Amino acid sequence: MSEKRLGFVGVGRMGGRMARRLIAAGYALTIFDTSDEAVQPLVELGARRGDSPAAVASEAETVLASLPTPPVVQAVALGPKGILEGTRVKTFIDVSTTGSTYARRVAEGLAAKGIVAVDAPVSGGIAGAERGTVAVMVSCDDATFAAVKPPLEVIGKVFHVGKRPGQGQTMKLMNNLLSAAAMAITSEAVVMGVKAGLDAKQIIDVLNAGSGRNSATQDKFPRCVLPRTFDFGFAIGLLNKDVRLCMEEAESLGVPMVVGSAVRQLLSIATASEGAEADMTDLVKSVEKWAGVRVGG
């Protein structure tokens, strides 16, 4: 990269933590978010406040974005006062989860003005963003990858998964489907065990010593479910959205998703029951209600 100034649009729970790491690493940031509460702490650390994505893209050659939904990403990139209207930006790095269709749409729209779009979704949650340990799944050409790799390495472990727009998004959707499936099936299995009179903590210990271990048994249940804190940091509504995007992409590719469809159904039920803003680990509560038991606590 030719400069140490970056732009960052969307500095909420995930983006704010990434932005802090970039500031600590010596990057000068110009930032924008619709929430002043998200912006102010970073301004106090030395970030410059922009009044729109276009303003951010007029101060930095490389702009990152961490946003909640595909339509928001498209609006920020291509809409009024968006990245497309910036006067300096050359590279747009989207660390959000949008799916490949939106990634290609954004890439095509920005390319019309000579701006290179890089899809670089991340996985690892708020804790990973805080520690700089998220997996960053980058899709772009080799030259662009070499240019964007240094700041992305501040954020997490960087993988160059493809060269075509959207391939990073495909990788992320696969990851989130597996994460959701682990949470869903572990909820059902552990609730069954508790209903049969087994101890919840011992269930998890045994699973983690055997072939049933997975990301939910190793992390989410011990940390968030057994103590009943439900604070993993990723909203169940967003996970539901990601699994829906994965199902749509699989259908477009002609790939059957029998198990994935069942996971999506349970997620949809839990989202309606617990609320879209509930933590993804709250999914277990829907299974508990049906079974009439409580796990942990």
Q: What are phi and psi of 135, to 5 degrees?
A: -85, 130
pLDDT at position 3, please? 56
pLDDT at position 267, please? 97
- The count of structural domains within the chain is 2
In a domain, 297, yes or no: no
Claim to verify: residue 30 and residue 142 sit in the same structural domain: yes
- Which domain does 40 fall in, by range? 5-165
Domain end (from 165, 197, 219): 165
Domain end (from 131, 165, 199): 165
Task: Report the phi/psi class of residue 230: left, alpha or beta, with left for phi > 0 and alpha for psi in -120 to 50.
Answer: left
Claim to verify: residue 25 and residue 136 sit in the same structural domain: yes
Claim to verify: residue 157 and residue 205 sit in the same structural domain: no
The DSSP bridge partners found for residue 94 are: 65, 119
Please give the span between the terminal C-alpha atoms of the chain, in angstroms, as a whole number.
50
**Residues designated as active site:** 172
pLDDT at position 297, please? 80
Domain end (from 105, 136, 165): 165
Claim to verify: residue 36 and residue 158 sit in the same structural domain: yes
Kindly tell me the burial class for residue 196, based on how many C-beta atoms sit within 10 Å of its own C-beta (0-12, 13-18, 19 or more). Answer: exposed
In a domain, 157, yes or no: yes
Q: 35: helix, coil or strand? A: coil
pLDDT at position 2, please? 43
Claim to verify: residue 190 and residue 155 sit in the same structural domain: no
In a domain, 121, yes or no: yes
Claim to verify: residue 65 and residue 114 sit in the same structural domain: yes
Claim to verify: residue 72 and residue 147 sit in the same structural domain: yes
In a domain, 126, yes or no: yes
Claim to verify: residue 134 and residue 234 sit in the same structural domain: no
207's tokens? 């699973």
Claim to verify: residue 42 and residue 121 sit in the same structural domain: yes
Claim to verify: residue 16 and residue 140 sit in the same structural domain: yes
What's the CATH number where 277 sits? 1.10.1040.10
In a domain, 296, yes or no: no
What's the CATH number where 159 sits? 3.40.50.720
Instruction: Name the maximum alpha-carbon separation found in the chain.
Output: 65
Q: What is the residue whose two structure tokens read 């729209």?
A: 109
The DSSP bridge partners found for residue 48 are: 30
Claim to verify: residue 126 and residue 182 sit in the same structural domain: no
Q: What is the mean pLDDT of each run of 10 residues along the chain (297 residues)?
A: 81 96 97 96 97 98 96 97 97 96 97 97 93 98 98 98 97 97 98 98 98 97 98 94 95 96 97 97 98 94
Claim to verify: residue 113 and residue 184 sit in the same structural domain: no
- Name the pTM for this structure: 0.91
